Amino acid sequence: MNALPPLAAGIELIALTKQYALDSVAVDSINLRIASGSYCCLLGPSGCGKSTTLRMIAGHESTTSGDILLENRNITHLPAAGRGTAMMFQSFALFPHLSALDNVAFSLKMKGVAKDARHRQAQDLLERVAMGHLSARKPGELSGGQQQRVALARALITQPRVLLLDEPLSALDPFLRVQMRAELRRWQKELGLTFIHVTHSQEEAMALADTMVVMNHGRIEQVGSPHEVYNRPASEFVARFMGGHNVLETTLGKVAVRNDHIHLAPLAHGDNGWPATVHDVEYQGNHVLLGLRLAEGSGAGAGDNVSVMLPEATFVQRPYAPGDQVSMTWAAWQAHTFPPTLAA
């Protein structure tokens, strides 16, 4: 199919910086290598610099300093159309008055490609994303998921080396979001392209990414696989942002303990666990989430909050209610100690 993109490409960011004013640094001298053909998610809270980084890679935002390399070619100052990248926007940004076919073919029309040729390429790509039978429909006649497929086909028709996705699932309802992220992953594997995907959703990033890049205040806190980032957070910020962790002060220093690694038992005199009081019980289907408040004598001090996730079957066998006094324990290997230089 002549509309298929070429082989994948890797991206390297070197001391990349974006400063809007003397006291406003959106991206602070970050260094990052994204492997060719991988799915990379830039993750972090609002204002962390992830979307600004994506826009600089795309050429939609100028850099203050630093370099952007695509396959060792410096693209920092090239126009967006000459970089070999394509962007899929959060809003899909489809032309409402054009059919799906003409939306996909639009960039080829601007390049002067003949109508028959551009429609043939556009139809090929719509078939690839299972939208060929709806090519005559306008965006207003399509569902959110269908519009996203059209937006993807429109991005691919430029034959990009790298596809950039700016929160592409945030406008979809939760059920469709899960379905579409599976399709995005499948398309990335089939096309063999490098995908760089901005999201604020930890769940989305873990489901999609080969590589997760966690950002905070314009800097990179951690780069790694979803398994590495979740199980070995590099800082207190990463542990708290990823969720599912309790950050505790112990005799070993500050540690992160996953909430599903904590074991509970009724508080008994003389036991070696951390004493706490149950203050919240939340049923979540296959598990139950307990909110605890640490008591006097715990290593982290009285009043600190801890979450504990119990399998439903465990909770049914030994239920807990608000006000119950409990003892918390965990295996030593399940407590991840932060590197001293990175601990918050």
CATH of the domain at 331: 2.40.50.100
pLDDT score, position 341 = 56
User: Are residues 225 and 250 part of one domain?
Assistant: no
In a domain, residue 130? The reply is yes
Same domain, 162 and 298: no
State whether 39 and 80 are in the same domain. yes
pLDDT along the chain (344 residues), means of 10: 53 95 90 95 95 96 96 94 87 87 92 92 90 92 88 88 89 81 88 93 94 96 96 93 90 87 88 90 95 76 83 95 94 86 48
- Domain span at 271: 245-337
Residues 192 and 294 in one domain: no
| Cα–Cα dist 141/34, whole Å | 37
Residue 1, in any domain of the structure: no
Rounded Cα distance between 207 and 227, Å, is 11
Amino acid 1: pLDDT: 38
Q: What is the pLDDT of residue 5?
A: 46
Alpha-helix residue ranges (DSSP H) falling in 168-251: 174-191, 202-208, 226-231, 236-242
pTM: 0.86
Q: What is the largest CA-CA distance in the chain?
A: 83
Spatial distance between the Cα atoms of 295 and 263, rounded to a whole number of angstroms: 16
- What is the structure's pLDDT at 203? 93
For residue 33, the domain's CATH number is 3.40.50.300
Q: Are residues 288 and 155 in the same domain?
A: no
Residues 204 and 63 in one domain: yes
CA dist 51 and 76 (Å) reads 16
Q: Domain boundary residue among 170, 205, 231? A: 231
pLDDT for 88: 85
* Whole-number pLDDT of residue 276: 93
Burial degree of 57 (CB within 10 A; 0-12, 13-18, 19+): buried
Is residue 272 domain-resident? yes
